[in-house]
Amino acid sequence: MALNYYREKHKNLVSHLFVNMKIMFISNRPDISFGLQSKILEDELRNMGHDVLDIDHTSSTKIKIDKFSTFKPDVLVIWTFFHDVGHPTITVDEFRQMVGTNRDFFLIGFEVSDTDRLSDKAISMVNELNPDVLVTPSRWSANGFHDVNIPIVILPHALDPYILEKKDKYRLSFPLLEGKDKHVYIYAQHSLDRKGTDISLNVVNKLYEKRQDFNLIIKSLSMTYKGITEFKPDKYILRGFVSRFMHYAVMKKGTHFFYPVRGGAFEIPVLEALALGLTVIIPDKGAWVDIPLNKDDVYWIKVDGLKRYWFDNPYHVGNFVEPDVDDAYDKLNEALDNRKNVNSDEYLKEYSPENIAKQFVDIIKS
The mean per-residue pLDDT over the stretch 174-201 comes to 85
pLDDT at 172 (0 to 100): 62
Position 174 confidence tier, pLDDT thresholds 50, 70, 90: low
Give me the pLDDT at residue 226, please: 60
Domain co-membership, 240 together with 313: yes
Q: Could you read off the pLDDT of 243-269 as tens digits, one per residue?
A: 888 888 889 889 999 999 999 999 999
Q: Examine the domain organization and report whether 153 and 199 are in the same domain.
A: no
Lowest average pLDDT, out of 79-88, 117-126, 205-214, goes to: 79-88
Give the pLDDT score at 289. 98
CA nearest to 22, candidates 42, 2, 1, 36: 42
CATH of the domain at 276: 3.40.50.2000
- Residues 53, 184, single domain; the answer is no
Q: Are residues 201 and 115 in the same domain?
A: no
Q: What is the DSSP string of 71-94?
A: H--SEEEEE-SSS-SSS-SS-HHH
The verdict on 181 and 317 lying in the same domain is: yes
Q: List, for residues 16-32, the tens digit of each pLDDT value.
A: 456 789 999 998 877 77
The pLDDT tens digits for 295-342 are: 999 999 999 999 999 999 999 999 999 999 999 999 999 999 999 999
Whether the pLDDT of residue 9 is over 70: the answer is no
* Pair 225, 243 in one domain: yes
153 lies in the same domain as 172 = no
Low-confidence winner among 162-166, 180-184, 185-189 (lowest mean pLDDT): 162-166
> Domain of 317?
163-350
Stated pTM of the model: 0.90
Is the domain of 134 the same as that of 168?
Answer: no
> Percentage of the chain with pLDDT > 70?
87
Inform me whether the pLDDT recorded for 1 exceeds 50. no
The helix (H) or strand (E) run that includes residue 135 is: strand 133-136
- The answer to which of 160-169, 194-203, 298-307 has the lowest mean pLDDT is 160-169
Angle separating helix axes 61-71 and 92-99, nearest 10 degrees: 40
What pLDDT is stored for residue 239 in this prediction?
76
- Predicted pLDDT at 176: 64
Split at pLDDT 50, 70, 90, the class of 13 is: very low
Residue 110 backbone dihedrals phi, psi, to 5 degrees: -115, 130
Statement: residue 49 has pLDDT above 90 = yes
Is residue 74 a contact partner of residue 105, using CB atoms and an 8 Å limit?
yes
Q: What is the mean pLDDT of the chain?
A: 87
**200 and 138 fall within a common domain:** no
Cβ contacts of 81-88, under 8 Å, gap ≥ 24:
81/109, 81/110, 81/111, 81/122, 81/125, 81/126, 81/129, 82/111, 82/122, 82/125, 82/315, 83/28, 83/32, 83/34, 83/111, 83/112, 84/28, 84/57, 85/314, 85/315, 87/57, 87/58, 88/57, 88/125
Q: Among 42-46, 123-127, 236-240, 301-305, which is the least confidently predicted range?
A: 236-240
Same domain, 267 and 356: no
At 30 the pLDDT is 73
More confident residue, 347 or 242: 347
User: Is residue 15 pLDDT above 50, yes or no?
Assistant: no
Q: How many domains does the chain have?
A: 2
Are residue 125 and residue 176 in the same domain, yes or no?
A: no
Clarify whether residues 176 and 138 are in a common domain. Answer: no
